[in-house]
Amino acid sequence: MDFNLKKLTSDAGVFFTRAVQFTEEKLGSAEKTELDAHLENLIARADCTKNWTEKIFRQTEVLLQPNPSARIEEFFYEKLDKKIPSRTTNGELLGQYMLDAAKDFGPGTPYGSTLITVGEYQSRLGGAEREFLQTSAINFLTPLRNFLEGDWRTISKERRLLENRRLDLDICKARVKKAKQAEAKAAAEQELRVAQTEFDRQAEVTRLLLEGISSTHVNHLRCLHEFVEAQATYYAQCHQYMQELQKELSRYPNSFASNANPSTSATCPSPVSSATLPGVSPPCLASSSTPGIAQEPSGPLKIPDVQQPSTGHRKAKVLYDYDAHDTSELSLLADELITVYTVPGMDPDWLVGERGNQKGKVPVTYLELLS
């Protein structure tokens, strides 16, 4: 008990003298031993590495797991050294919902069968995402975490010890200057030599650890390459799955058109001459009550009379560019000439347009019919 008390008293005394030395240095009333330039550069480089590694690590965590509650849960599992439970990705969950919905709607219906196809591909996308998350966590996040929680803690501990050794050295230097008697000065000089030796030894240990930051950069560079490779693989898989899904859906490009509600079909205004609308964008193809669709230009616009096209073939000049919405329509370029005609029972706001071997529906409002 006496030994522990003495040690506690001694440690308290050392702490007090260091605190006094540190305060006097800040106030400019005491000299401070400066580290050599090489060691200072290593310390600055280490601090920069730690700060940016921490930011990259935190933001990568957000990228891989946007849900903050899930991140907190994973943090506690890691601290308790327990295996993190497997989670269903959003893509897998969406795919399962679609498959379940198809059962209720009827897998034999067009909507139900399409839900099954899309749901299966959503599940595949979710599986690709799960693999990407696991690979990135192992190959990129784990090395960054190991540096922050392992190597950096060791470096910080040795740097604190170096700072204490420096304070002890400067305290001894101050004692030598204050010593008046030869015996006291000799004892102070002996303490100074011991403090200088300990400081030099600790400076060398700290320098070796800080020089190891270069190896850390090399390791993190390799991990960064693996992270990018995992991203490239993931996005390539997603692209492949989406291309395959598009091919599956393109087998029935107009399956939804035959079941569409006539009351929801788009209505077009009368054709507008380009001569009367300089600089005005083409008119809308949807009802003005449809949200999110550009409306017909307002103002006193001159609308020429509509001539109902005959069933015969005629030439027409395209007034505005038009992008086909599906394979049943024909894309148009402004100022080109195409052949148009109508068929019995066709919506009067649409014509059949031909350009070489291409054929499809075109909106009347985008055309100027020629005689």
Give pLDDT, residue 30.
78
Answer whether residue 8 is part of any domain.
no
Candidates 198, 38, 184, 60; CA nearest to 132 is: 60
CB-CB contact of 78 with 213 (8 Å):
no
Give pLDDT, residue 262.
44
Tokens at 122, concatenated:
């959503």
Three-state secondary structure call for residue 367: strand
Instruction: Please check whether residues 243 and 330 belong to one and the same domain.
Output: no
Give pLDDT, residue 252.
58
Instruction: Please check whether residues 48 and 145 belong to one and the same domain.
Output: yes
Tokens at 281, concatenated:
């964008």
Give pLDDT, residue 8.
66
Instruction: Please check whether residues 203 and 345 belong to one and the same domain.
Output: no
Domain end marker among 219, 236, 251: 251
Instruction: Please check whether residues 195 and 78 belong to one and the same domain.
Output: yes
Domain end marker among 251, 268, 289: 251
Answer whether residue 296 is part of any domain.
no
Instruction: Report d(CA 357, CA 362) in Å as an integer.
Output: 15
Q: Return the axis-axis angle of helices 37-64 and 213-249, rounded to nearest 10°.
A: 20
Cα separation values, 301 from 278, 284, 295, 363, Å: 11, 14, 14, 20
Instruction: Please check whether residues 322 and 205 belong to one and the same domain.
Output: no
Instruction: Report d(CA 233, CA 362) in Å as an integer.
Output: 41
Instruction: Please check whether residues 247 and 318 belong to one and the same domain.
Output: no
- Rounded to the nearest 10°, the torsion over CA 150, 152, 155, 156 is -110
Instruction: Please check whether residues 320 and 200 belong to one and the same domain.
Output: no
* Non-local CB neighbours of 340 within 8 Å, separated by 6+ positions: 309, 313, 314, 315, 316, 351, 352, 353, 354, 362, 367, 369
Instruction: Please check whether residues 92 and 217 belong to one and the same domain.
Output: yes
Answer whether residue 4 is part of any domain.
no
Answer whether residue 140 is part of any domain.
yes
Answer whether residue 286 is part of any domain.
no
Residue range(s) defining the domain that contains residue 356: 314-370
Give pLDDT, residue 302.
36
Instruction: Please check whether residues 233 and 134 belong to one and the same domain.
Output: yes
Tokens at 98, concatenated:
């679609």
Q: What is the pLDDT along the chain (371 residues), one digit of tens a residue?
A: 455 666 666 667 677 788 877 888 778 777 888 899 999 999 999 999 999 999 999 999 888 887 676 666 666 566 656 666 677 888 999 999 999 999 999 988 889 999 999 999 999 999 999 999 989 989 999 999 999 999 999 999 999 999 999 999 998 888 888 888 888 888 888 989 999 999 999 999 999 999 999 999 999 999 999 999 999 999 999 999 999 999 988 875 444 444 444 444 444 444 444 433 444 445 444 444 444 444 444 443 333 333 444 467 899 999 999 999 898 899 999 999 999 998 888 888 899 999 988 999 999 999 999 87
Answer whether residue 285 is part of any domain.
no
- CATH number, domain at 354? 2.30.30.40
On the 0-12 / 13-18 / 19+ scale of CB atoms within 10 A, 230 is buried
Domain end marker among 220, 251, 282: 251
* Non-local CB neighbours of 170 within 8 Å, separated by 6+ positions: 21, 25, 30, 31, 32, 33
- CATH number, domain at 70? 1.20.1270.60
Instruction: Please check whether residues 59 and 182 belong to one and the same domain.
Output: yes
Tokens at 219, concatenated:
């390791």
Phi, psi (rounded to 5 degrees) for 187: -65, -40
* Number of compact structural domains in the chain: 2
Instruction: Please check whether residues 350 and 230 belong to one and the same domain.
Output: no
| Residue 10 neighbours by CB distance under 10 Å | 10
CB-CB contact of 81 with 91 (8 Å):
no
Answer whether residue 282 is part of any domain.
no
pTM: 0.60
Answer whether residue 129 is part of any domain.
yes
Give pLDDT, residue 284.
46
Instruction: Please check whether residues 223 and 136 belong to one and the same domain.
Output: yes
Three-state secondary structure call for residue 337: strand
